[in-house]
Structure 1
Amino acid sequence: MSYAIIGFGNIGQALAKAFARKGVEVSVATTRDPESFASAAAAIGPTIIPKTLAEAVKADILFLAVRFESLPDVAKALPTWKGKTIIDVTNAYGVPPEELGGQPSSKFVAQAFTGARLVKGFNHLGAASLAQDPAVHGGRRVVFLASDDDAAADEIGALAENLGFAPIKLGGLSEGGLLVQARGKSWGQLIFKDLVKFD
């Protein structure tokens, strides 16, 4: 299984740190030349591999950690996203609901990435929290996952576990997914809730 993080701002780098802690190789890409962020990637760890967007989208599982308005550009990188699992880490804060056709932002994202299995996840934490070791006081930091594809949610749940997090599935994008989505100028009830699960 191959992994990529598209976007290498604060959230993209926080995700990269989670992979680096476990020694798992992950490609990182932006719309810029990989050399422009190679030193930042190297500072996180040897398993963080800078690539072009065209190379990175060959991965099986992709984290979308770009600004919401950049999604259409990323979606054009492949003619079809069939066979890919995409984790939507974006937040559509400030995007008017009518621009999304009144639907949850992840549904809008799913339509842009035709054929992909989409999971909303890893987006409810601020970058500073997400970047920290998920092992906290004998528990594990929670990440929420929502998807209309149960198998995809299970797959990303297993990845979250491997990275040291405690995944909690919220159900479909239109139900539980709304708890971790921004709508216009309001945040879902679980956004920014930094929770720890004790087994």
Structure 2
Amino acid sequence: MSYAIIGFGRIGQALAHAFARKNIDVTVASRRPPEALAPQAQAIGPTILAKSLREALETDTIILAVPFEQHGEVAKALPDWTGKTIVDAMNSLAPLEEMDGLLSSVFAAKAFTGGRFVKAFNHLIATTLATDPVVEGGHRVVFLSSDDEGATAPVATLARELGFAPINLGKLNEGGTLVHARGRVWGPLIFQDVFKKEP
């Protein structure tokens, strides 16, 4: 399985730190050229590989860590997203009427034709997400939600490999509402730093 993080701001860099801790290769890309990202990527770790957006989109699993309003621009980079798993680590402050009254992930998923869309890694602030998720015998929880049950399992596997404890909340319009920003109303699990003890 190959991975990419699109967006190299605070959330993108926090996720890169998670990959680096476990020596897992991940491509990072943004609107900036790879050479502009390379020094920061190398400073995080040798498994963090700054590449072009085109190269990043060749991976199997793509984590969206761009500002929500830029997701459409990323989606246009491929005519068909079949075979790709898209992990939505974004949050939106846009009014619901700007998203046809839909949850942000449901709205964003429509732009990625054929892709498998999973909401994950969005509920923690970047400074928390960047720290080691293993603390005193427990693992920091990340919440997952998707309308594609088959897509959730590999993202949960990735979360475990990164040291997190994944919890599946179910479909986006059910448990997913707990971790969504909806206009100015935030889901009750947003910013909740929860740990799961190992049995």
Interval containing the TM-score (normalised by the shorter chain):
over 0.9
Distance 1:168 1:185 in 2: 25
Residue in structure 1 matched with residue 87 of structure 2 by the alignment: 87
Aligned-residue RMSD, C-alpha: 0.6
Once the 2 structures are TM-superposed, how far is the Cα of residue 125 of structure 1 from its aligned partner?
A: 0.2
Once the 2 structures are TM-superposed, how far is the Cα of residue 100 of structure 1 from its aligned partner?
A: 0.7
Once the 2 structures are TM-superposed, how far is the Cα of residue 138 of structure 1 from its aligned partner?
A: 1.0
Once the 2 structures are TM-superposed, how far is the Cα of residue 18 of structure 1 from its aligned partner?
A: 0.5
Distance 1:157 1:150 in 2: 11
**Structure 2 residue identity aligned to 1:58:** E
**Residues 121-155 of structure 1: CA deviation (Å, up to 9, x unaligned):** 00000000000000011100000000111111111
Residue in structure 2 matched with residue 54 of structure 1 by the alignment: 54
Residue in structure 1 matched with residue 43 of structure 2 by the alignment: 43
SS in structure 1 at match of 2:109: helix
TM-score, length basis structure 1 = 0.98
Distance 1:98 1:41 in 2: 38
**Residues 93-115 of structure 1: CA deviation (Å, up to 9, x unaligned):** 2x010111111110111101110
TM-score, length basis structure 2 = 0.98
**Residues 69-108 of structure 1: CA deviation (Å, up to 9, x unaligned):** 1111111110010000010000012x01011111111011
**Residues 136-184 of structure 1: CA deviation (Å, up to 9, x unaligned):** 1110000000011111111100110011000000000111111101111
- Unaligned ranges ≥5, structure 2: none
Q: Is 2:163 the counterpart of 1:164?
A: yes
Q: Is 2:147 the counterpart of 1:148?
A: yes
Aligned residue pairs total 198
Once the 2 structures are TM-superposed, how far is the Cα of residue 12 of structure 1 from its aligned partner?
A: 0.2
Residue in structure 1 matched with residue 136 of structure 2 by the alignment: 137
Residue in structure 2 matched with residue 16 of structure 1 by the alignment: 16
Q: Is 2:113 the counterpart of 1:114?
A: yes
Q: Identity of paired residues, percent?
A: 60
Residue in structure 1 matched with residue 73 of structure 2 by the alignment: 73
Deviation beyond 3 Å, 4+ runs, structure 1: none
Residue in structure 1 matched with residue 195 of structure 2 by the alignment: 196
Once the 2 structures are TM-superposed, how far is the Cα of residue 31 of structure 1 from its aligned partner?
A: 1.1
